């Protein structure tokens, strides 16, 4: 049985993102991410951080205080902790956008770390969802109200790429980091199926610009 968790990072989120949280999800707030818990009407099960971007909350929740000088970001620490506890389905909210682009890139790296360790990972904001494509693990995505589907290599060259159910299908293709061949594809079916044989990629679903 899947064990689900939600990581709340520090980028402010809209209340509508509460739709990604299911009853029974284990909630981890990272540093200033505890403010997002309040926005979503959630009570964190765990708060972790060095609290350099927000004061340490004076609450009764379990808190892990991290040192300021460390290798892990607060979100990476939370991800590693959840992986060690056996969680295999993890959603990251408040991890995209904001004033610090390097934090978004760091959170993508954290998502990839989880995906390569067998976790089903989702990063979401108000307009997009991000998932990861890893070798030998097909990714089936529902159309819903998504306009664009994009695929970018994130670790090495993507080989053996197959995209089906999209306007620009691929069969046994190669995607490289220096050429954005996989950007702004579109659904032609109720679901799209993505596969690769080597490398790792990030998949972005985006709503219409209008």
Mean pLDDT of 86-110: 96
Can you give the pLDDT at residue 85?
97
Q: Where are any strands of DSSP class E within 60-178?
A: 62-65, 89-93, 120-124, 128-133, 139-142, 148-164, 170-175
**Tens digit of each residue's pLDDT (9 = 90 or more) over 41-95:** 999 999 998 776 666 676 646 888 877 778 889 999 999 999 999 999 999 999 9
Mean pLDDT of 83-111: 96
Can you give the pLDDT at residue 68?
77
Percent of all residues in the chain with a pLDDT value above 90, rounded to a whole number: 83
| Helices (H), ranges, the chain | 34-39, 74-84, 101-116
Confirm whether pTM is higher than 0.85: yes
209: pLDDT confidence band, cut at 50, 70 and 90? confident
| Dist. CA 9–CA 128, nearest whole Å | 16
Mean pLDDT of 90-117: 96
């Amino acid at each position: 049985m899947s064990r689900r968790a939600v990581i709340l990072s520090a980028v402010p989120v809209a209340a509508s993102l509460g739709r990604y949280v299911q009853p029974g999800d284990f909630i981890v707030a990272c540093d200033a991410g505890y403010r997002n818990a309040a926005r979503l009407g959630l009570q964190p099960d765990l708060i972790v951080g060095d609290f350099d971007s927000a004061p340490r909350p004076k609450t009764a929740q379990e808190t892990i205080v991290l040192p300021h000088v460390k290798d892990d970001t607060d979100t990476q620490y939370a991800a590693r902790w959840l992986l060690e506890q056996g969680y295999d389905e993890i959603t990251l909210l408040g991890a995209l956008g904001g004033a610090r682009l390097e934090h978004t890139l760091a959170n993508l790296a954290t998502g990839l770390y989880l995906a390569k360790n067998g976790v089903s990972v989702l990063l979401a904001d108000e307009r997009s969802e991000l998932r990861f494509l890893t070798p030998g693990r097909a990714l089936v995505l529902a159309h819903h109200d998504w306009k664009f589907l994009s695929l970018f290599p994130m670790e090495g060259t993507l080989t053996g790429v197959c995209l089906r159910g999209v306007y620009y299908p691929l069969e046994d293709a190669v995607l490289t980091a220096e050429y954005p061949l996989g950007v702004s594809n579109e659904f032609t079916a109720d679901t799209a199926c993505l596969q690769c044989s080597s490398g790792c990629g990030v998949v972005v679903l985006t709503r219409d610009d209008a």
